[in-house]
């Protein structure tokens, strides 16, 4: 199945959890947050939310702002 | 001289941004020199496992300021709400500087999407600092929705033009005396900050004016003094301007008195 991660296509086995996708990129700690199809997903739900073909995943981190 | 926002009391009326500085070290030094206790930050998409976000966040935490995340780049209420939620989780604060832009050329806030987002975020328990225009009705609506502070622009973001519409800003101050009003965008020089504070505004938020100065640290010190001077002047009550000269030296019985004086 295909996911769009921060604007780039990525391919995964069928319906991984969000936690599994993040771990596959080594993204297990640090300051970041996730939106799935433009909707915020709380960290507490990473292990239970399953992803589907065509989903759009955005990972954000802190940056400078005015 | 303190400024209270919700249950937070601030001794500095200068809010500063963290963007556009020549280097991270100068950013830290300038923010410290400004004496600001509130610093704005933002979010960006970044490749997983990159350490850039951690590095920046450590720099900000080291400043020991209140963090005010923004929703820069959002054009729709729903996007702003989701960015606010992500910010709350990362930065562990319910404060949010709500930016919903309606025009790419002026970066003018979109009043209708702004109101929609503010209403939802207040319901979700956020402390909403809305970046808005000086439009009185919009500001009254944001107040009525439960925003504890308003952040009107005085000129377009990053323009450094100062207070372009003094009449409307004065009107805003007069008609909304009960909320802190922080000028958010358009300040370019310490004299602009002095003017805003003299008019009774409670503070200013600056970023480009510091970061793009030849000496950001020196400019930060100048802004700190400007904000302090403006607030003191407001509290002291400036004299009323007059149309004609009024002699300051009592004239009666001065030597060679002939009806003039200085």
Residue B255 in domain: no
Chain B closest CA to A35's CA: distance in Å? 8
Q: Is B38 within a domain?
A: yes
Q: Once rounded to an integer, what is the mean pLDDT over residues B166-191? A: 98
Per-residue pLDDT, averaged over B96-121, amounts to: 98
Set B4, B44, B61, B97: catalytic member: B97
* Res B260 pLDDT > 60: no
Q: Is residue B53 part of a domain?
A: yes
Structural domain span for residue B120:
3-236
**pLDDT at res. B38:** 98
Q: Is the residue at B173 inside a domain? A: yes
pLDDT at B191: 98
Residue A37 lies in a domain: yes
Query: Is A22 near chain B, with CB under 8 Å?
Result: yes
Domain assignment present for B243: no
Q: Residue A54 maps to which CATH number?
A: 3.10.20.30
d(CA A62, nearest CA chain B) in Å: 5
Give the pLDDT score at B122: 98
Q: CB distance from B56 to chain A under 8 Å?
A: yes
- Residue A44 in any domain: the answer is yes
Q: Assign A28 a pLDDT band (cuts: 50, 70, 90).
A: confident
For the cut 90, the answer to whether the pLDDT of residue B149 exceeds it is yes
A11 shares contact with chain B (CB less than 8 Å): no
SS3 assignment for chain B: CCEEECCEEECCCEEEECCCCCCHHHHHHHHHHHCCCEEEEEEEECCCCCCHHHHHHHHHHHHCCEEEEECCCCCCHHHHHHHHHHHHHHHCCCEEEECCECCCCCCCECHHHHHHHHHHHHHCCCEEEEEECCCHHHHHHHHHHCCCCEEECCCCCCCCCCCCCHHHHHHHHHHCCCCCEEECCCCCCHHHHHHHHHCCCCEEEECHHHHCCCCHHHHHHHHHHHHHHHHHHHHHCCCCCCCCCCCCCCCCCCCCCCCCCC
> What confidence score (pLDDT) does residue B259 get?
61
Structural domain that includes position A38: 2-60
Whether A66 maps to a domain, the answer reads: no
How far lies B154's CA from each of B35, B47, B64, B108, B204, in Å?
22, 36, 28, 11, 10
Q: Give the pLDDT confidence score for residue B52 in this predicted structure.
A: 78
The percent of residues in chain B predicted with pLDDT above 90, rounded, is 90
Q: What is the pLDDT of residues B32-89, one digit of tens each?
A: 999 999 999 999 998 766 777 999 999 999 999 999 999 999 999 999 999 999 999 9
A32: pLDDT confidence band, cut at 50, 70 and 90? very high
Q: What is the pLDDT of residue B250?
A: 85
> With bands split at pLDDT 50, 70 and 90, how would you rate the model's confidence at B106?
very high
B189 catalytic residue (yes or no): no
β-strands B3-5, A8-11 pairing = unpaired
- Tokens at B140, concatenated: 């009254």
Q: Which of B24, B27, B48, B83 has the highest number of chain A CBs within 10 A, making it the mutation to test binding with A?
A: B48
Q: ipTM higher than 0.90?
A: yes
Residue B120: inside a domain: yes
Mean pLDDT of chain B: 95
pLDDT value of position B25? 98
Q: Which residues in chain A have their CB less than 8 angstroms from residue B18's CB? A: 64-66
Give A36's pLDDT tier (boundaries 50, 70, 90): very high
CATH of residue B145's domain is: 3.20.20.70
pLDDT of residue B262: 61
A26 touching chain B per CB within 8 A: yes
B41/A62 Cβ within 8 A: yes
* B258 located within any domain: no
What's the domain count of chain A? 1
Residue B94 counted as domain residue: yes
State how many domains chain B has.
1
Q: What is the pLDDT of residues B181-220, one digit of tens each?
A: 999 999 999 999 999 999 999 999 999 999 999 999 999 9
């Amino acid at each position: 199945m295909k996911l769009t991660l921060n604007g780039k296509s990525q391919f995964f086995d069928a319906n991984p959890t969000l936690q599994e996708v993040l771990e596959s990129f080594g993204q297990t700690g640090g300051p970041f947050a996730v939106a799935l199809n433009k909707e915020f997903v709380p960290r507490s739900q990473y292990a239970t939310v399953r992803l589907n073909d065509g989903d759009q995943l955005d990972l954000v981190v802190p940056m400078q702002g005015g | 001289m303190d400024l209270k926002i919700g249950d937070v009391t601030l001794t500095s009326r200068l809010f500063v941004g963290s963007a556009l500085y020549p280097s991270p070290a100068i950013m830290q030094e300038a923010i410290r020199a400004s004496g600001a206790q509130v610093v704005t930050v933002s979010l960006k998409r970044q490749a997983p496992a990159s350490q850039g976000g951690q590095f920046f966040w450590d720099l900000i935490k080291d400043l020991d300021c209140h963090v005010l995340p923004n929703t820069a780049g959002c054009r729709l209420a729903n996007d702003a709400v989701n960015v606010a939620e992500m910010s709350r989780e990362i930065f562990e604060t319910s404060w949010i500087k709500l930016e919903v832009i309606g025009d790419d050329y002026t970066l003018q806030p979109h009043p209708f999407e702004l109101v929609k987002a503010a209403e939802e975020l207040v319901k979700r328990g956020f402390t909403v600092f809305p970046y808005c225009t000086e439009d009185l009705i919009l500001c009254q609506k944001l107040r009525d929705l439960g925003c504890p502070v308003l952040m009107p622009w005085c000129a377009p973001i990053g323009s450094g033009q100062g207070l372009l519409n003094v009449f409307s800003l004065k009107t805003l101050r007069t008609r909304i005396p009960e909320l802190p009003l922080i000028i958010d965008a358009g300040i370019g020089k310490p004299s602009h900050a002095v003017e805003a504070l003299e008019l009774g505004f409670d503070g200013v938020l600056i970023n480009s004016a510091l970061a793009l100065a030849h000496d950001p640290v020196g400019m930060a010190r100048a802004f700190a003094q400007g904000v302090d001077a403006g607030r003191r002047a407001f509290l002291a009550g400036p004299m009323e301007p007059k149309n004609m000269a009024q002699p300051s030296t009592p004239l009666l019985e001065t030597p060679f008195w002939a009806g003039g004086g200085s």
